[in-house]
Amino acid sequence: MKTPLIDNLQYANFSPKIFEQMRAGGVDAVHVTIAYHESFREMVLNLERWNRWFEDHGDLIFKGTCAADVTRAQDTNRTAIFFGFQNPSPIEDDIGLVEICHQLGVRFMQLTYNNQSLLATGCYEDDDTGLTRMGRAVVEEMNRVGMVIDMSHSGERSTLEAIAHSTRPIAITHANPHWWHAALRNKSNAVLKALTDAGGMLGFSVYPHHLAGGSDCTLEGFCTMIAEAAARYGAQNLGIGTDLCQDQPDSIVEWMRVGRWTKGIDYGEGSASNAGFPPMPVWFNDNRDFGNIRSGLSAAGMVADEIDGIMGGNWMRFYDSSFGPL
C-alpha cells in the first residue's frame, strides 16, 4: 500500500473547490472540525451539511470512521473525511452523548477550547486546575468507545493529567513546540515528552500564530523544527495537523474565540489591530502544497521512512489503534 497523506486538522470554509484541491494534492484523509461552541443539536445540523456534501461530491470525498477508510480513499482516488470537535460543548453536561457522538462518526474531541470547560482548563485561563471530576469520567468514556482525547487548546496541568489518566494514547492534533516559538498555544517540552512517551501523537500546525516568524516563517525553519522534534521525541509520534482555515471570513475568527461566552471581543493569539486570519506562509496555502513540506523534510536531513510517517503513516497507525472500542 502507498503511504497515505493525512492532514489531521482543518477548519476550512469547505466547498467543491477545496475538495478538488484535496484530490489535486493527493490528500487521502482530513480530520475536519465540525464544532467549536455548538450545542448537540447545532452540531447535528453541521453533520447534515456534511451529509449533503458527501451526497453531492461523492466522487471526491466520503465519511471516514476507521483506518481502513484511508485505504479505501487511496483505492478510489477520494479523500476520507474524519470528524472532530474543538470543544466538548456538543456533549453538553451528558456523558451519554460521548457514545452517541461516536456513533455519529466523531473520532476526536478536545476537552477544552482556550477557556475552562466542564472537563478541563484551557490554555488562556490564569489558573489551570486540571481535569475536573466530569473530565476524568469523560476521558474514561472516550477511551471505552474509541474517541481520541485532543488537548490542543488545553493548559499544561490539564494536558499532563489527561495523558496520565487516559488508558489510551491521546493526541495534540495541531500545535508546535514552545521551545521553537513561545506562543501560548504551543506545547512545552514536558508536555511533548509525556505525550510521546505514552504513544501519543503531535500534529504540526502551519497556522501563522503558531509559527516562528509568523506568516514569514520559512519552509526550512519549519522543517528543521520538525527534524529537531523527531530527534527529541521520535519521528513515529509526529504528523501534520495544519489548522488550515482556508477561505474563512474574519467573522469566523470571532466565532472561534468568542462563541457565546462573552459580550466582548477576545483577540486571542492575534491583536486588536490584526484580529482576523493572518496570511499563510508562501509555501503552504492549500491542500496542493503538502509536497513542499515533504521536500522540506528531506532537505532537513530526514530519511524516507520518517518522512512517510510524518506525512500520514503515523496518523494511519494511530487511527487503527484508537477509533474502535476497548
124 band by pLDDT with thresholds 50, 70 and 90: very high
Contact 130, 163 (CB under 8 A): no
What mean pLDDT, rounded, does the chain reach? 96
Q: Looking at residue 269, what is its pLDDT?
A: 62
Check pLDDT > 90 for residue 1. Answer: no
Q: Which domains does the chain have, with CATH numbers?
A: 6-88+171-193+200-322 (3.20.20.140)
Write the pLDDT tens digit of every residue in 187-218.
999 999 999 999 999 999 999 999 999 999 99
- The fraction of the chain above a pLDDT of 90, given in percent, is 91
Write the pLDDT tens digit of every residue in 44-72.
999 999 999 999 999 999 999 999 999 99
| Distance in angstroms (rounded) separating the CA atoms of residues 157 and 182 | 17
Write the pLDDT tens digit of every residue in 272-303.
445 678 999 999 999 999 999 999 999 999 99
Which backbone phi and psi does 182 adopt, to 5 degrees?
Answer: -85, 50
What's the rounded mean pLDDT across residues 86-109?
A: 98
Write the pLDDT tens digit of every residue in 28-44.
999 999 999 999 999 99
State the pTM of this model: 0.97
